[in-house]
């Protein structure tokens, strides 16, 4: 038995095995046929869905327009993106950490006298492996596309701005070694991410704040001062990206070695053209450094696992079990609701309830937002980023605009949700005995004012910044994205209302749909659950990509679909309001 | 945006009447045909075992469920919660109300009053009076998610009582409450009776029924 010092004895392992056996027996051991079916289904999904998706992504990324955009991504931008990923996992740890066993496992194993570094190791390893797999997939797909990009591989001498020294650079497709180094580095970085995620779940607010500040500083400085890429894991990933991008961008260390001009590396902005024009062959040390740092960071894991508290562990386990059950039963809104932060502060903020009703509800939404500041700040940031992406997308070539427009529409849809509490509340009032002196329709319409204002104003500011930062010239090119965003904002809010009024999953959709590959009824459920998201992607993203080419048609189409979806949303609301 | 909900039936004959109302869903009988009649200023207790159909009867009386047989009326008007006048007249507590998670208890009560056109000081007074009467005034700044089960029940009752009504429908208002708090619930039902409301409530508490009901019916399991 454990001595309480954190050491794991042979007895501990024996007891854990026995405990897991009891839990497995309680759940009913899967039969060989069940396991075989799961393997068969997983293989089918990988072959029928996964492989074509990967192929589609690689082919999409080697299209000339897309390849140009990917090749233009600077190492600093990769450093910033990886730093943002670190911040997201650290902040997300409290909502969903890497260690989320089933509730029974928390009560039966984690709450036993066994050391938690032993009982909780398996869920952590599972999460870390999932992160590593995702990293390999993303780095592999992008890297593969850079290998297959059309063109002749050639080494060229690139002048180093005003300097006399030259270094060897490459154009066209990258070399396999660069992709291998990038993928290895991504795996090392995924280990760091997994540990950061665990710190987010376990660490104090001070620890979390420290990681956020360090990652944020590392990412931003890597973007602004090229030499800083040498000093942080986020920068190392950026350095590994550089030769993958095709050698058009710089490999900073190589440049420094070639010129001997180390001081310039630490110049704000990297000395202008110097940085942007240097290309050098693959260097392996950042990959090795990332793997070593990732492995060393794993030494923190046992202590962190021992430090996880039972209460929050069980809360997360129960919450995610509930979310999983709701998703399985088709209640996606309920599942998302289970993740929504409850207000705990700002209860003394005064709320005036005079004036027109829409103003009362608007004030209520604003006061409510102040009571979940973290959630609303994150939502508003994402909303601004969505607006910026739409603004930027108008300056991109036609073939690749969708790469920014589609994710922007999706993120805007997610972000506006934090302002939609009053809309959801209005919808919920439809199915219960009358409590409010306004119809559900009136409550929903008044509730929609806040998300509409937030989307137009906050997203509009982002849109403006994106337009100013893009390569688009002024005049009409400036007016188009600024005019398009408010329309897109209305569309997103209408979609949110449409989704809120969804109600319970129709039983009809659970009827078996026999196909040669098995029962396809789950596809019906999936489509029903994700109709609003699909509309956000296809209509919001698709028409945003179309807008600069055919603005009139895009506006007419969007308004037409918007009116239809709004009518369907209110029809859903009427149906919910009807007595059973 | 429309104004607050329609006219009251207070001016009409204040009477709940159900003749042979029953509920059958997909061949399953939820409520056997039942007759009730409640005058203004009267309280009717509905008793019966679990699963006998008490809640189904209350859902019909609040307009949330259409009866499969028989008729249910308020002041001669068919009960249907799509009818604004019916909505204006009937306040019901059946299950958990639709709370706004971002409002404190006091704000929530004020918000409900505001939707019924009661604003300013009158809304503040109505909220404060109920919070004190149900002894949850110390919880005024809490959010609904921060209450114990008993406190939640008292707050749910407050939400049903703060809005104007001619008919009050309550499903086991005493549940999860201690003896002292059950007394507070009885006081509020008696006050509503004094003010002329017609009340129908389901209860398993013989003391509560004894104290406030003018009449009681027992619903038999179908």
| A446 part of contact set with chain B, CB < 8 Å | yes
Record: contact B2-A367, CB cut-off 8 A: no
- pLDDT tens across A419-463, in order? 999 999 999 888 777 889 998 999 999 999 999 999 999 999 999
- Is the pLDDT confidence value at A163 over 60? no
Domain that holds residue B87: 16-218
- Is the pLDDT confidence value at A245 over 60? yes
Write down the pTM of the prediction: 0.76
B140 in Cβ contact with A374 (< 8 Å): no
Q: Considering only CB atoms, which chain A residues are within 8 Å of B5?
A: 434, 437-439
Q: Give the model's confidence band at A260: pLDDT under 50 very low, under 70 low, under 90 confident, else very high.
A: low
Is there a domain that residue A11 lies in?
Answer: no
Q: Give the model's confidence band at B115: pLDDT under 50 very low, under 70 low, under 90 confident, else very high.
A: very high
- What is the pLDDT, as a whole number, of residue A564? 96
Residues 78-137, chain B: which have Cβ within 8 Å of A? 80-82, 84, 87-88, 90-95, 97-104, 107, 110-112, 114-117, 119-120, 123
- What is the pLDDT, as a whole number, of residue A76? 84
Is there a domain that residue B24 lies in?
Answer: yes
- What is the pLDDT, as a whole number, of residue A282? 62
Record: contact B143-A344, CB cut-off 8 A: yes
Q: Considering only CB atoms, which chain B residues are within 8 Å of A436?
A: 112, 115-116, 163
Residue in B with minimal Cα distance to A370: B102
What's the number of domains chain A is made of? Answer: 3
Dihedral sign computed on CA atoms, order A560, A565, A570, A572: positive
Please indicate, yes or no, whether residues A42 and A125 belong to a single structural domain of this protein.
no
Is there a domain that residue A18 lies in?
Answer: no
Please indicate, yes or no, whether residues A346 and A292 belong to a single structural domain of this protein.
no
Please indicate, yes or no, whether residues A155 and A107 belong to a single structural domain of this protein.
yes
What number of C-beta contacts closer than 8 Å exist between A and B? Answer: 124
Residue in A with minimal Cα distance to B164: A437
Residues 225-284, chain A: which have Cβ within 8 Å of B? none
| Alpha-carbon distances of A305 from A117, A516, A522, B213, rounded to whole Å | 5, 46, 36, 59
Is there a domain that residue B136 lies in?
Answer: yes
Of A206, A3, A208, A224, whose CA–CA distance to A114 is shortest?
A3
Please indicate, yes or no, whether residues A362 and A282 belong to a single structural domain of this protein.
no
Is there a domain that residue A5 lies in?
Answer: no
- pLDDT tens across A467-512, in order? 887 755 555 567 788 899 999 999 999 999 999 998 877 778 878 8
Please indicate, yes or no, whether residues A56 and A177 belong to a single structural domain of this protein.
no
Please indicate, yes or no, whether residues A308 and A395 belong to a single structural domain of this protein.
no
Please indicate, yes or no, whether residues A111 and A47 belong to a single structural domain of this protein.
no
- pLDDT tens across A513-546, in order? 877 767 777 778 778 888 888 999 999 999 999 9
Is there a domain that residue B206 lies in?
Answer: yes
Give the pair of three-digit tokens for residue A179. 């992709």
Shortest distance between the Cα of A343 and any Cα of chain B, in A, equals: 6
The residue among A62, A83, A107 that closes a domain is: A62
Q: Considering only CB atoms, which chain B residues are within 8 Å of A358?
A: 1
Please indicate, yes or no, whether residues A58 and A77 belong to a single structural domain of this protein.
no
**CA dist., res. A363 & res. A14, Å (int):** 59
Shortest distance between the Cα of B103 and any Cα of chain A, in A, equals: 7
- What is the pLDDT, as a whole number, of residue A28? 66
Is there a domain that residue B112 lies in?
Answer: yes
Residues of chain B with pLDDT > 90, as a percent, come to 75
Is there a domain that residue B85 lies in?
Answer: yes
- What is the pLDDT, as a whole number, of residue A316? 86
| Alpha-carbon distances of A18 from A10, A23, A27, A35, A317, rounded to whole Å | 13, 9, 14, 22, 22
A434 in Cβ contact with A399 (< 8 Å): no
Residue in A with minimal Cα distance to B64: A579
What's the number of domains chain B is made of? Answer: 1
Please indicate, yes or no, whether residues A489 and A346 belong to a single structural domain of this protein.
yes
Q: Considering only CB atoms, which chain A residues are within 8 Å of B171?
A: none
Record: contact B102-A577, CB cut-off 8 A: no
B176 in Cβ contact with B156 (< 8 Å): no
Q: Which of A342, A360, A578 sits opposite B143 (nearest CB)?
A: A342
Is there a domain that residue A14 lies in?
Answer: no
Please indicate, yes or no, whether residues A150 and A248 belong to a single structural domain of this protein.
yes
| A425 part of contact set with chain B, CB < 8 Å | yes
Please indicate, yes or no, whether residues A566 and A488 belong to a single structural domain of this protein.
yes
CATH code for the domain in which residue B157 is found: 3.40.50.300
Q: Considering only CB atoms, which chain A residues are within 8 Å of B112?
A: 435-437
Is there a domain that residue A425 lies in?
Answer: yes
Domain that holds residue A288: 73-317
Is there a domain that residue B194 lies in?
Answer: yes
- What is the pLDDT, as a whole number, of residue A407? 93
Is there a domain that residue B132 lies in?
Answer: yes
- Strand-pair partners of B201: B45, B170
**CA dist., res. B59 & res. A433, Å (int):** 8
- What is the pLDDT, as a whole number, of residue A109? 79
The residue among A39, A62, A85 that closes a domain is: A62
Name B74's Cβ contacts closer than 8 Å, sequence gap at least 6.
Answer: B9, B15, B16, B17, B86, B89, B90, B166, B167
Residue in B with minimal Cα distance to A578: B82
The mean pLDDT of chain A is 82
Q: Considering only CB atoms, which chain B residues are within 8 Å of A348?
A: 141
Please indicate, yes or no, whether residues A368 and A514 belong to a single structural domain of this protein.
yes
Is there a domain that residue B23 lies in?
Answer: yes
Q: Considering only CB atoms, which chain A residues are within 8 Å of B160?
A: 435
Residue in B with minimal Cα distance to A352: B120
Is there a domain that residue A81 lies in?
Answer: yes
| A216 part of contact set with chain B, CB < 8 Å | no
């Amino acid at each position: 038995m454990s001595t309480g010092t954190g050491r794991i004895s042979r007895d501990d392992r024996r007891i854990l095995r026995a405990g897991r056996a009891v839990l497995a027996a309680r759940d009913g051991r899967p039969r060989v046929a069940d396991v075989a079916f799961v393997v068969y289904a997983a293989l089918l999904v990988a072959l029928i869905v996964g492989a074509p998706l990967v192929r589609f992504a690689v082919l999409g990324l080697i299209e000339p327009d897309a390849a140009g955009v990917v090749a233009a991504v600077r190492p600093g931008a990769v450093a910033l993106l990886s730093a943002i990923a670190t911040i997201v996992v650290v902040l997300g740890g409290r909502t969903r950490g890497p260690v989320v066993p089933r509730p029974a496992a928390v009560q039966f194993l984690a709450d036993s006298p066994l050391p938690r570094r032993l009982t909780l190791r398996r869920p952590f390893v599972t999460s870390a492996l999932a992160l590593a797999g995702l990293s390999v997939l993303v780095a592999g797909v992008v890297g593969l596309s850079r290998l297959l990009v059309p063109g002749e591989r050639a080494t060229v001498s690139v002048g180093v701005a005003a300097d006399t020294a030259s270094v060897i650079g490459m154009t066209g497709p990258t070399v396999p070694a660069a992709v291998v180094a990038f993928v290895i580095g991504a795996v090392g970085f995924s280990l760091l991410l997994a540990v950061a995620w665990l710190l987010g779940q376990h660490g104090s607010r001070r620890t979390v704040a420290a990681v956020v500040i360090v990652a944020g500083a590392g990412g931003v400085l890597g973007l602004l001062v090229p030499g800083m890429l040498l000093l942080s894991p986020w920068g190392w990933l950026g350095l590994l990206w550089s030769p993958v991008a095709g050698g058009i961008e710089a490999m900073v260390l190589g440049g420094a070695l070639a010129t001997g001009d180390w001081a310039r590396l630490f110049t704000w902005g990297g000395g202008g053209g110097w940085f942007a024009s240097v290309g050098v062959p693959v260097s392996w040390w950042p990959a090795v450094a990332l793997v070593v740092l990732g492995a060393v960071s794993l030494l923190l894991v046992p202590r962190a696992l021992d430090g996880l508290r039972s209460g929050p562990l069980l809360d997360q386990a129960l919450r995610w079990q509930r979310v999983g059950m709701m998703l399985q039963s088709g209640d996606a809104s309920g599942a998302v609701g289970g993740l929504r932060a409850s207000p705990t502060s700002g209860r003394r903020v005064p709320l005036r309830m005079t004036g027109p009703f829409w103003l009362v509800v608007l004030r209520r939404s604003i006061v409510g937002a102040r009571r979940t500041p973290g959630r609303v700040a994150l939502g508003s940031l994402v909303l601004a980023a969505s607006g910026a992406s739409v603004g930027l997308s108008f300056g991109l070539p036609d073939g690749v605009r969708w790469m920014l427009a589609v994710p922007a529409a999706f993120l805007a849809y997610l972000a506006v949700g934090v302002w939609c509490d009053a809309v959801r509340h209005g919808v919920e009032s439809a199915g219960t005995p009358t409590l409010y002196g306004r119809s559900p329709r009136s409550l929903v319409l008044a509730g929609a004012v806040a998300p509409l204002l937030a989307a137009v104003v906050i997203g509009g500011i982002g849109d403006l910044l994106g337009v100013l930062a893009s390569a688009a010239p002024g005049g009409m090119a400036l007016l188009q994205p600024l005019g398009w965003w408010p329309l897109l904002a209305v569309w997103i809010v209408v979609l949110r209302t449409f989704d809120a009024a969804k109600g319970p999953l129709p039983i009809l959709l659970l009827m078996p749909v026999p196909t040669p590959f098995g029962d396809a009824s789950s596809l019906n459920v999936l489509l029903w659950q994700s109709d609003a998201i699909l509309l956000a992607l296809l209509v919001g993203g698709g028409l945003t990509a179309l807008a600069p080419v055919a603005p009139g048609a895009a506006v007419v189409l969007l308004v037409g679909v918007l009116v239809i979806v709004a009518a369907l949303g209110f029809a859903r609301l009427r149906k919910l309001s009807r007595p059973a | 945006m429309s104004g607050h909900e329609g006219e009251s039936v207070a001016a009409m004959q204040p009477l709940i009447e159900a003749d042979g109302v029953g509920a059958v869903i997909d061949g399953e009988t939820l409520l056997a045909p039942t007759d009730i009649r409640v005058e203004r200023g009267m309280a009717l207790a509905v008793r019966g075992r679990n699963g006998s159909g008490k809640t189904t009867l209350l859902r019909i009386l609040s307009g949330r469920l259409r009866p499969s047989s028989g008729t249910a009326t308020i002041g001669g008007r068919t009960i249907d919660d799509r009818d604004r006048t019916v909505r204006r007249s009937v306040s019901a507590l059946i299950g958990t109300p639709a709370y706004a998670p971002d409002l404190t208890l006091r704000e929530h009560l004020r918000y409900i009053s505001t939707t019924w056109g009661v604003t300013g000081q009158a809304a503040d007074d109505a909220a404060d009076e109920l919070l004190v009467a149900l002894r949850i005034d110390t919880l005024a700044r809490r959010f609904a998610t921060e209450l114990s089960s008993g406190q939640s029940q008292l707050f749910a009752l407050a939400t049903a009582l703060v809005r104007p009504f001619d008919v009050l429908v309550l499903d086991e208002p005493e549940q999860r409450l201690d003896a002292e708090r059950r007394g507070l619930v009885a006081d509020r039902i008696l006050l509503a009776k004094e003010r002329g409301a017609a009340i129908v409530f389901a209860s398993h508490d013989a003391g509560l029924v004894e104290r406030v009901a003018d009449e009681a019916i027992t619903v038999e399991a179908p």
